[in-house]
Amino acid sequence: MVKKKAMCSLQTDVPGADIGMIKIRELHDFKEHPFKVERNQELFELRRSIQQEGILVPLLVRKNPDGEGFEIIAGHRRKEAALWAGIKEVPAIICSMDDDQAVIAMIDSNLQREKILPSEKAFAYKMRLQAMNRQGKRKELSSDPLEPKCIEEMVEISLLEADISENGEVNIKKTDSAAGYQSNEQLARMVGESVTQIKRYIRLTKLIPKILDMVDRELLAIRSAVEISFLTEEEQYELHAVMELEQCIPNISQANRLKRMSQQKQLDMDMIYDILQEIKPNQREQIKIPFERIGKYFPPDYTPAQQADLIEKLLRGWAHQNKKKDVQQEI
């Protein structure tokens, strides 16, 4: 690692921080990093920006706890874009952090992105909540429909937040005390989600990869996916096979039935077929007639219900008349 003090300003409360150039081959991704790094159009734009202007915001790293080199806390996309551009070393701020501090800084730096997949939020929220729980001192027993009979941690110490500005300034600071708040409530306040929505996202981590990918691709609604997350792994694979074969996606009602059948130990492949083959309300055939075509035939004071009743009455009379004609022709 080559020190380069003048690259950008550095303001941090973390002792022992340093800044310098680090070879990319010495960098290791954060363990169980929940955010996907793909060579797509967005990364291509970042690569082009780095080629033209360099890396304006240094990566945030720490000494690799599992061996040689450094572990990336913030900057996985910048590292990949630089690698794609053929750059061999990148500017980085080296901080001394324990595992929980590193998790919180890693999650916070990535949650600032505009586009975050449901699967990324799911594992990010889970990791951050676990880190917050380990920082807490008290435990209280609670019951919740998404996580029944779980142990909730009460956070009573200050939490760390990481903020990386556009000009490269890194601030790792303590927030106000979160005493009296359950950790999931504190997380909800931090990320601007409801506690219920946080729990829904975390439930998604119970899904098999193939079904979780359907959530990311917006083929499966999050609330339906939450219900499916209560199925066993084997049941989820069977469900996915049926969805693939029949080209059908369960709605919230069907997903809830799947969950209840699973909890009653009654869910098998035949039951999955039966539930998914039910006709959904939006799949029933409907006849729509523009009001402009028929509105002039109704009295002005007729309500939509009265109009529908009149149409049904007229059709019933028409069908009765036709039936009479058919009988007379047969005679």
| pLDDT given for residue 138 in this prediction | 38
Q: Which strands sit side by side in the sheet containing 18-23, from one edge to the other?
A: 2-3, 18-23, 89-94, 59-63, 70-74, 27-28
- Give pairs for 158-165: CB < 8 Å, separation 24+: 159/104, 159/132, 159/135, 159/186, 160/101, 160/104, 160/105, 161/104, 161/108, 161/190, 162/60, 162/73, 162/74, 162/104, 162/105, 162/106, 162/108, 162/109, 163/108, 164/57, 164/60, 164/74, 164/109, 165/57
Highest mean pLDDT among 8-12, 41-45, 223-227: 223-227
Does 181 share its domain with 233? no
- For residue 177, what pLDDT band results from cuts at 50, 70 and 90? very low
CA-to-CA separations, 201 to 188, 205, 206, 298, in angstroms, rounded: 12, 7, 10, 51
Q: How confident is the model at residue 171, as a pLDDT? A: 58
Q: Please indicate, yes or no, whether residues 96 and 123 belong to a single structural domain of this protein.
A: no
Residues 216 and 198 in one domain: no
Instruction: Provide the residue range defining the domain that includes 70.
Output: 2-102
Which of 191, 186, 189, 184 lies closest to 144 in space, CA to CA?
A: 184
**88 Cβ neighbours under 8 A, 6+ residues apart:** 23, 24, 25
Cα torsion angle, 219, 223, 229, 234, sign = negative
Number of domains the chain is built from:
3
Residue 107 lies in a domain: no
Dihedral sign of CA atoms 206, 99, 35, 136 in order? positive
Residue 249 pLDDT class (50, 70, 90 cuts): very high
Whether 162 and 74 have beta carbons less than 8 Å apart is answered as: yes
Domain's final residue, options 202, 237, 256: 202
Answer yes or no: do 241 and 171 share one domain: no
Q: Is residue 62 part of a domain?
A: yes
pLDDT at 13: 46
- The 10s digit of each residue's pLDDT in 281-329 is 555 556 778 877 888 888 888 888 888 888 888 888 888 888 777 666 6
Question: Which one of 73, 102, 131 terminates a domain?
Answer: 102
- Asked if residue 139 and residue 167 are part of one domain, the reply reads yes
Q: Are residues 133 and 183 in the same domain?
A: yes
Tell me which residue has tokens 């952090």. 97
Give me the pLDDT at residue 143, please.
45
Q: Which of the two residues, 202 and 328, has the higher pLDDT score?
A: 202
Q: Which residue has the higher pLDDT, 90 or 152?
A: 90
195 and 216 within one domain: no
Can you tell me the mean pLDDT for 60-64? 92
* Mean confidence (pLDDT) of the chain: 80
